[in-house]
Structure 1
């Protein structure tokens, strides 16, 4: 599998990364999924201390221990579980970040993190303090590089200006093009990569198309597409673009067509799903004309909220 450089770092990440949130608390099944990812050439594994009260990190760390020097492990920080584990609060403070990283390292059974990400962020955060925490962790050798996981344009702009982030994880797909005009050019100009998530739009951008629509999508639509619009645009896209490829290929290759995207992060509930996603990533890239056709026939969404 091809690799791309992650922003200003010296990390080269596979064009498909495994989003580990979808792993269930079944060590055998999780290991099978991770082993399938390794066999396909995936070297980027993304988890968070929030997932399954930190047990997700333990699963990932155990499954990757034998290949630790060959993989890139990323986790996230900022959401703090309550003592009763019935909810969480937001804490981007320097003190919490520097405490949390050591717990993540123990759970992942590693001496360092390749990428440490702020798991959210608002414009009211103590950003200078947060950045100081990440920079100190780099100096101390606990992390190699850091980034943020956010779709808030104002937050992203401030981190671009004030920090040395290497990556921004954000939702991006054919049906969610909000970042294209406002954020992606800024990140490209500053040599910061995108780790894209939500690329299949909750299953809408797969072979099953509208059949994957949840009750919520049927009632409320998806972003600024109403359900009736989806029933029109999705078959139209498939007919025009996927006569010689799966629609999953079209969806994932659309992300890779943007040079700012370093890796498409996709979850998987089975080894077969990992392999299907890998085939899509390894497929023939979209042509310039195909990318333009998609842009001309879908909405150039804009961020109206999340400021």
Structure 2
């Protein structure tokens, strides 16, 4: 495993997204023992960056990681997120990035994760009712107290990133970025590079679509966020299958798996990018981390760059309203 810097934070070139172990995907929460083995295997393979959030479950994913990391906390750059739960009464899926709410959120996350500090603390979604300067200032106070080490943003746009960074350095921005979701390249990525901020792509495998394993839109259980997702339904699903098929063809040519090709393409976009593919299976974490050694040829990179854009939004209409691009 190679290591890079997100700002001044050193992390493994490939991280691990833990959400699907407990939340949002078919089979989530059905095999915690395998999920814990997956975390341990990731650490054995040199993965250091592990990502969760209080909203995953809610709370159950942080509890799971707290169990998995007992005795191994010092091997991990532990990232979690706040802002999608209003601890003042409105509850889950209600934006609140006010200072008092951040205080309540961090104490709960520290307890569930079984740690005295969070290495990278992200605002999960931009809260239009709280000036980003207040949010950044609240996290800066937690950093001064030692409860948080680094400040991050998720799905934030250029203006928000600049304003937050002016209050306290932003270490990383987490956004969806993959072969079929490339919207941040024009406006967000240049700002990150100007300011020396790292990029952490989530869903780098297109929610599993780019692996070629998703062939039937009826395969998603109730509660799987892909069920009803515009890219995974109807004619959009069938048209997007051409993207997965082309990734599969390039994988066959390169002697790798489609997942490794999708990750290798991301790694080729710069040494300030650390994707966090999610999985709850040991075999998949082994496959994903091996992408670090895949070298794509210029011709293969050109073919991948020329893939057509995916058809359909990345989220439902309600989910799209939470994004700031």
* Pairwise TM-score range, normalised by the shorter structure: 0.7 to 0.9
Question: 2: distance between equivalents of 1:207 and 1:143?
Answer: 38
Distance 1:2 1:110, change over 3 A: same
Indicate conservation of the 8 Å contact 1:184/1:260, yes or no.
no
* 1:284 corresponds to 2:294: yes
1:211 CA drift (Å): 1.4
Q: 5 Å matches for 1:149-168?
A: 149-150=154-155, 152-168=157-173
The correspondence for 2:49, drawn from 41, 44, 52, is: 44
**What RMSD, in angstroms, separates the aligned Cα atoms of the two structures?**
3.0
Counterpart check, 1:271 vs 2:282: yes
Which is worse superposed, 93-102 or 49-58?
Answer: 49-58
1:298 to 2:308 alignment: yes
Gaps of 5+ in 2: 23-28, 220-225, 315-319
Counting only pairs closer than 5 Å after superposition, residues 1-307 of structure 1 correspond to structure 2 as 1-7=1-7, 9=8, 11-24=9-22, 25=29, 26-80=31-85, 87-150=92-155, 152-208=157-213, 211=215, 213=217, 220-221=230-231, 226-240=236-250, 242-243=252-253, 244-259=255-270, 261-279=272-290, 281-299=291-309, 306-307=323-324
Mapped contact 1:255–1:261 kept (Cα < 8 A): no
2: distance between equivalents of 1:240 and 1:71? 33
Task: For residues 163-185 of structure 1, give each alpha carbon's deviation from its aligned partner in whole angstroms, at most 9, with x where no partner exists.
Answer: 41100111011111111122112
Q: Separation in 1 of the partners of 2:203 and 2:20?
A: 12
Q: 1:207 and 1:153, CA in 2 relative to 1: closer, same or farther beyond 3 A?
A: same
Q: Deviations over 1:231-276 (max 9, x none)?
A: 4343234324531222111101111111164311111121111112
TM-score after normalising by structure 1: 0.86
Separation of aligned partners in 2, 1:214 and 1:260: 38
Deviations 1:60-104 (A, max 9, x none): 122212121221111111122679998431110011112221221
